C-alpha cells in the first residue's frame, strides 16, 4: 500500500505503456514488504528536463530511463559513474547527497543474460544493429573483451561515433544498415544483437533477406519485447530480451538499495505475471 512515507522509483520513456519493469519492481517490493513503489511515466523528448527536475524536487529515490532518453539525459545529471561516462548512456539514476547520479546496467545485464544461455561474449564475432542508448551500452561492454564487433545503423554518423568512442581491445567496424551490409555480416557471426525497436524477423523481411541467411551457429538477441517476436527458424537459438530485462533491473535495484538484489524473486515475479517462463 502507498503511504505517506513510501519511497518512490520511476521510469521515464516513450513509449512506456508496454514496460514490464513496474511488474518486476512492484511485485518484488510487495513480496519483501518494502515501503517502496515504482511508477512508469510517459515522458516525451521535450519534457525530459522537466521530468528530471520533478524527480529532484519530489525526492524520488531513483528512476530508470528508457528509449529515447538514455543519451540526452547525461547532461541533465549531477554526476556519472565511470561506466555511464564511458558508454555515454544512462538507464539508471540514483539520488545521492551529491545530487542525481547516472549509471548504466544494460551492458552488464545483457552479458549476464547471454551467459545464462551459455554464451560467453569474449573472442566472438558480434553484429550490433542500432547505435542508440542500448547499443552504446552493449558495444561499450562487449568492447572490453577481445571481440570482433560490427555496428550497422540506419544513420551512419551515429555508428561511426559509437565505433570511434569505444575503448578496449576489440576490433570494431561500422556500416550503414542495408541489405548488403546485413547479409554480409550474417555470413560469419556468432551473435546478432538487435538494439533497434524493430524485430529482427521484420528487419530481415523489410530488407528482403531470407531468414535462412542466419547461420546455424549464430544466436539472435532482440532487445525489444513490446511485441511478440516472429520465430527465426535458422540460427543457434534466440536470447530472450526478458532475461536481460530482469538482469538489468536487478542491477538497478542494487544501485538504489545498496544491497544484493533478490534476482530469483524478481525473475519469478515476471514469470508468474506472464504465466510462463521464456527459457
The CB-of-9 to ligand NAP minimum distance in angstroms stands at 16
245 binds ligand NAP (CB under 6 A): yes
84 binds ligand NAP (CB under 6 A): no
The CB-of-40 to ligand NAP minimum distance in angstroms stands at 13
- C-alpha distances out from residue 277 to 131, 167, 245, 273, Å: 30, 36, 13, 10
User: Strand 148-153 vs strand 125-129: parallel, antiparallel, or unpaired?
Assistant: parallel
Task: For residue 70, indicate whether it is catalytic.
Answer: yes
70 binds ligand NAP (CB under 6 A): yes
The CB-of-223 to ligand NAP minimum distance in angstroms stands at 4
How crowded is residue 208: how many other Cβ atoms within 10 Å of its Cβ? 8
Cβ atoms of 217 and 236 within 8 Å: the answer is: yes
Give the C-alpha separation, 69 to 154, whole Å.
18
Which phi-psi region, left, alpha or beta, contains residue 10 (left: φ > 0; alpha: ψ -120 to 50)?
beta
# residues near ligand NAP by CB under 6 A: 27
User: Which residue, 101 or 159, is less far from ligand NAP as judged by CB?
Assistant: 159
Residues between 16 and 45 with contacts to ligand NAP, criterion CB under 6 A = none
User: Which residue, 55 or 242, is less far from ligand NAP as judged by CB?
Assistant: 242
Of 67, 80, 152, 270, the one binding ligand NAP by CB under 6 A: 67
190 binds ligand NAP (CB under 6 A): no
The secondary structure of 259-278 as a DSSP string is S---HHHHHHHHHHHHTS--
Of 92, 133, 185, 214, the one binding ligand NAP by CB under 6 A: 133
263 binds ligand NAP (CB under 6 A): no
Question: Of these residues, 3, 31, 45, 70, which one is catalytic?
Answer: 70
51 binds ligand NAP (CB under 6 A): no
The sign one gets for the Cα dihedral 161, 165, 166, 172 is positive
132 binds ligand NAP (CB under 6 A): yes
Residue with cell string 539514476: 93
Phi, psi torsion values for 7, nearest 5 degrees: -80, 135
Contacts of 274 (CB under 8 A, 6+ apart): 242
User: Which residue, 58 or 251, is less far from ligand NAP as judged by CB?
Assistant: 251
**Grid coordinates of 182:** 546485413
The CB-of-33 to ligand NAP minimum distance in angstroms stands at 27
User: Which residue, 107 or 235, is less far from ligand NAP as judged by CB?
Assistant: 107
Maximum pairwise Cα distance, the chain: 58
Give the C-alpha separation, 100 to 52, whole Å.
9
278 binds ligand NAP (CB under 6 A): no
Cβ atoms of 109 and 83 within 8 Å: the answer is: no
Of 131, 139, 261, 270, the one binding ligand NAP by CB under 6 A: 131
Report the DSSP beta bridge partners of residue 62.
9, 94
135 binds ligand NAP (CB under 6 A): yes
Catalytic residue set: 70
Q: Which residues here bind ligand NAP, judged by CB under 6 A?
A: 66-68, 70, 106, 130-135, 153-155, 158, 177, 195-198, 223-225, 241, 244-245, 248
Amino acid at each position: 500500500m502507498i503511504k505517506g512515507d513510501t519511497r518512490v522509483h520511476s521510469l521515464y520513456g516513450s513509449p512506456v505503456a508496454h514496460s514490464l519493469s513496474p511488474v518486476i519492481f512492484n511485485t518484488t517490493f510487495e513480496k519483501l514488504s518494502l515501503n517502496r513503489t515504482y511508477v512508469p511515466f510517459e515522458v516525451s523528448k521535450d519534457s525530459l528536463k522537466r521530468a528530471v527536475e520533478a524527480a529532484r524536487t519530489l525526492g524520488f529515490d531513483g528512476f530508470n530511463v528508457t528509449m529515447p532518453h538514455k543519451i540526452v539525459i547525461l547532461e541533465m545529471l549531477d554526476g556519472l559513474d565511470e561506466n555511464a561516462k564511458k558508454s555515454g548512456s544512462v538507464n539508471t539514476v540514483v539520488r545521492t547527497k551529491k545530487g542525481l547520479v547516472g549509471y548504466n546496467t544494460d551492458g552488464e545485464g545483457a552479458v549476464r543474460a547471454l551467459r545464462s544461455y551459455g554464451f560467453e561474449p569474449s573472442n566472438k564475432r558480434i553484429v550490433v544493429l542500432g547505435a542508440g542508448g542500448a547499443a552504446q551500452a552493449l558495444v561499450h561492454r562487449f568492447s572490453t573483451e577481445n571481440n570482433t564487433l560490427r555496428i550497422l545503423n540506419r544513420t551512419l554518423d551515429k555508428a561511426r561515433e559509437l565505433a570511434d568512442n569505444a575503448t578496449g581491445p576489440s576490433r570494431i567496424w561500422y556500416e550503414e544498415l542495408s541489405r548488403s551490409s546485413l547479409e554480409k555480416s550474417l555470413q560469419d557471426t556468432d551473435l546478432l544483437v538487435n538494439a533497434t525497436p524493430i524485430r529482427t524477423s521484420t528487419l530481415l523481411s523489410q530488407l528482403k533477406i531470407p531468414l535462412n541467411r542466419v547461420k546455424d551457429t549464430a544466436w539472435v538477441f532482440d532487445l525489444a519485447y513490446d511485441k511478440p517476436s516472429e520465430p527465426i527458424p535458422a540460427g543457434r537459438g534466440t536470447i530472450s530480451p526478458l532475461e536481460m530485462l530482469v538482469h538489468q533491473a536487478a542491477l538497478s535495484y542494487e544501485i538504489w538499495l545498496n544491497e544484493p538484489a533478490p534476482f530469483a524473486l524478481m525473475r519469478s515475479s515476471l514469470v508468474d505475471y506472464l504465466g510462463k517462463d521464456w527459457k
